[in-house]
Structure 1
Amino acid sequence: MTNGQICVFGGAHIDRRGRISGTTAAGASNPGAWFVEAGGGGFNAARNLARLGHRVHMISARGGDADGETVAQAAEAAGVIDCPFTFLDRKTPSYTAILESDGNLVIALADMDLYRLFSPRRLRQRAMRDLLAGCAMVIADANLPSETITSLVSAATAQNKIVAGIAISPAKVTRYSACLDGLTFLFMNQAEARALIGGDVEAAEEWPVRLRAAGLNGGVVTRGGEPAIAFHGMHSVSVAPPSLEALGDVTGAGDALAAGFLSAHANGADLASSLRHGIAAAGITVGSALAVSEKISQQAVLETIGLVPPAKTLS
């Protein structure tokens, strides 16, 4: 599917990140600095996939404001084909995060009310039907309403598309609950996986078992510095992330992993190789101050993958 089109449905908005300069002091004023850029789980994945050589359409809801123009410019710069539903009297959604000095998240606020207007009927428009018919892969992030995700996954699976989901947060991952069996892969961190299954697991090997029981055919669970786990059908593997000399910002790392994984999968790689490609892409991203590293490319991933340990098959 090297030249197959990819359609990404979901969040494309403004990310505002404040990074604390020193040791975090809860309940107090902390010195630091703000950084503002376009973001969104789906949009980050879309831009990474475009930089990895794929033809990508981004479909999202947007306001008729300056922030919306910033998102449009970011899409153009990354080579993403921008297909927004623009609500001229609304503001573009935003995500505001406070990060510790090492780049880890302290707290975040998501102002995403506009995405509620991305209803299933939007998918029935002729332009959307034509886009869906012409693509080989569909990605839906959980910024969309649950009924829209379900309608989109149903339409995509009926046309035998590769269908992937990006969990976004523990609060939003359950929006896939009605259509888990239609997803080829769902990308989530450990907290999001816990929210999906309604509990925890004692051993890493149990994640594929519990997620299959929940209805998933395939997925990837990232676990911070612990090995990431991928499964599809009855096959499951784990890959340990390499040690990083410098951590720029963890924002966008999971979206980059999803993009690297799906790019490799689309080009015929097996499960283990796809996960290693995803981890390599995430590694490039966390070394950057940007949610989508300007260094992302097929060549950069191939150079970085040499740092990623071999995959281990899980029993």
Structure 2
Amino acid sequence: MVQQDSRTVAIRNILTRLSKRSGLSADRLRTTEIDVAPLLDLPIVQQRAQQEGVSPEEAVLPVVSDLARQLDPTNRLIADVELALGLLREKHPAGIDQDRLYAADLGERREYLTAQWRVLHEALGAESIPDAPSVRSLRATPERRAFTALAGQLAAASTYSVSNYRFTPEPKVLITLPDSQSRQGVVTVIGSAVIDHIYRISDIPSAGKSTPGSFEVHAGGKGLNRAVAAARLGLRVRLVSAVGDDDAGRHILNYLATENVDTELVRVVPGAQTNVSAVMITSTGVSSKIGCEDDRIRQGAYDIRDPKLRAALESSDAVLLTFEQPADAVRRVLAMVRGLADPPSLVVHPSPPVDAPQYLYEYLDAVDYLVGAPWELRRMLPRDSVAAGPDDAQRLLSLGVRAVCVTEGFRCTVRSADVNADIANFPVALEDSPGAAAAFSAALAYQLVTTRRPADEPEFRWATAAMVATQSFGDIPDAMPSIRDIDRIVQLAGEEPAGA
């Protein structure tokens, strides 16, 4: 799985670059300056070349065309037109100008594809047709999704080996990315992706004592958990993070791909080791954590000057931000979101707390929802302020935050100009769950994206129910609930699901 993901990314990048100008052809492969060796060396290409007695360059086009036909209608159309494969020449859809559809210039192909979006989908017999993108939006997530799906098909027969971690991947994986026909809303998550060493114990031992337990290794991290949680609710999700250039980092990338999370903005830091956390979870669900971090990962999580980051924020309906990056980077993200003409809903989890929160105060008016445990939110207030108390949320509101959500032990207290709610009536079996905070933020983002309005008490209740639904002893991201799981918790409490 690790090796396959690396190959998938390499093939996707090659296909994306080959789509420029006239598209994919044997002549282009022979003359291009692009390093196409990973594409030519694919087992499926080599096998086709040997069977037909042709060169690998001549085998690529029929192989890519055959696999593109197996994609869903939207991804098939994008791959076909962008690479100028000519698949629709077989169907001759009425009213379609084939010369424009497969023009020698990529820009012209894009324009014609978006203009004839519905007609082309109908020609493929698509049961449901997503809204037509603009040329600009087509160049972002839809193209990336289509090329990744096609690259996953091409690399699906490859194998892999893992030496340093006891992961248990399947030897062959066909990566399926979010289908634009079934997923809605765009959510960008900015936070960590790590390897969690999970220790399940009856209770945390005191000094000099030991306790029996079990041990597992899984992908995790505040950012990854939120991204997976949002993807499982049917949202289109991208993660902004960083991993090391090692087996653990490649495992994380592949795991995210199989969970339908876009990883283009997950930076692989050369020479760095992927961060590792030791998470101790007791029988009541209470957890403690030890973080082992390579500072190169934290410093290299993303480049604030990267135009791709700004484009990601601009195209998002909601952004989930944690404070796992340097304080200056957090400040710059807040400033960037605030400066957008049509900013996304911004959900912030101030963890881990920053040392000098006052440097963020001038940007807190960009924060729509500040979500955290009492001690995390408390650390957002000045150090010399009075003792902690019930007025903390109001003081944070006075700093510019639009709503404060205090989450603790499957309970939520919400304070804003319009909402004053204390939500704590769901049935619970544990004291806490390490995935609860991530589930809350993702469920809140789902409500914001789908209702297209600020959250009210029913939406906060649904997000609180998502915390309750994480009561599980499975690995933390795998405990993230589905819509059905959350609705079931709401109904057990005798309430209507939000949006019902």
Normalising by structure 1, report the TM-score.
0.86
* Alignment match of 1:284 (pick from 444, 469, 474): 469
- Could you tell me which runs of 5 or more consecutive residues in structure 1 were left unpaired when the two chains were aligned: none
Deviates more, 1:192-201 or 1:302-311: 302-311
CA distance in 1, matches of 2:332, 2:354: 20
Give the C-alpha shift of residue 213 in structure 1: 2.8
Distance between the aligned counterparts of 2:355 and 2:438, measured in 1? 15
Indicate the SS of the match to 1:228.
strand
1:20 and 1:208 mapped to 2: Cα distance? Answer: 34
Specify the alignment match of 1:250 in structure 2.
433
The answer for the alignment partner of 1:166 in structure 2 is: 349
In the alignment, is residue 180 of structure 1 matched against residue 340 of structure 2? no
Per-residue Cα deviation, 1:280-309 (whole angstroms, up to 9, x for no partner): 111111234221235622222222212347
- Please list, as runs of the form range in 1=range in 2, the aligned pairs for 1:162-311 lying within 5 A after superposition: 162-170=345-353, 174=357, 176-177=360-361, 179-197=363-381, 198=383, 200-203=387-390, 206-224=391-409, 227-245=411-429, 250-268=433-451, 270-293=455-478, 296-308=481-493
2:234, 2:464 → 1: CA distance? 18
Match of 2:326 in 1: 145
Secondary structure of the equivalent of 2:406? Answer: strand
Report the residue type matching 1:4 in the other structure.
Answer: G
C-alpha distance in 2 between matches for 1:27 and 1:98: 17
Report the CA distance between 1:173 and its aligned residue: 9.4
SS in 2 for 1:75: helix
Report the CA distance between 1:17 and its aligned residue.
2.0
> Given that residues 143 and 172 in structure 1 are in contact (C-alpha distance below 8 angstroms), is that contact kept between their aligned partners in structure 2?
no
Cα 1:189–1:158 shift into 2, 3 Å: same
Q: Deviation digits for residues 113-134 of structure 1, max 9, x if unmatched?
A: 23432377x1322322322222
- Is 1:52 the counterpart of 2:233? The answer is yes
The 2-side partners of 1:308 and 1:179 are apart by 38
Displacement, 1:77? 2.1
Amino acid of the residue matched to residue 140 of structure 1? L
Aligned partner of 1:264: which letter? Q
Give the Cα–Cα distance (whole angstroms) in 2 for the partners of residues 170 and 66 of structure 1. 30
| 1:155 paired residue among 330, 333, 336 | 336
| Rounded Cα–Cα distance in structure 2 between residues aligned with 1:251 and 1:309 | 26
The SS at the match of 1:153 is: helix
In structure 1, what is the Cα distance between the partners aligned to 2:198 and 2:267?
Answer: 25
Higher RCO by CA contacts (8 Å cutoff, separation 6 or greater): 1
Change (3 A) 1:153 1:144: same
- Once the two structures are superposed, residues 187-223 of structure 1 have per-residue CA deviations (whole angstroms, 9 ceiling, x without a partner) of 10011122222455444xx343122134322221113
By percentage of residues, which structure has more strand?
A: 1
Which stretch shifts more, 153-162 or 13-22?
Answer: 13-22
Q: Determine whether 1:130 maps to 2:311.
A: yes
For residues 307 and 113 of structure 1, do their structure 2 counterparts lie closer, same or farther at Cα, with a shift above 3 Å needed? farther
Instruction: Give the aligned partner of residue 285 of structure 2.
Output: 103
SS at match of 1:255: helix
Structure 2: which amino acid aligns with 1:263?
A: Y
Quick one: structure 1 residues 23 and 144, their matched pair in 2 at CA, closer, same or farther if it must change by over 3 Å?
closer
Closer/same/farther in 2, CA of residues 143 and 202 from structure 1, 3 Å limit: closer
Seq. identity, %: 22
Deviation sequence 1:236-284 (CA, Å, 0-9, x none)? 212005232357x711111111111221122226321121111111111
**Quick check: which one's helix share is greater?**
2
Give the paired residue count.
305
CA contact (8 A) 2:186 2:317 kept: yes
Q: Does 1:42 align with 2:223?
A: yes
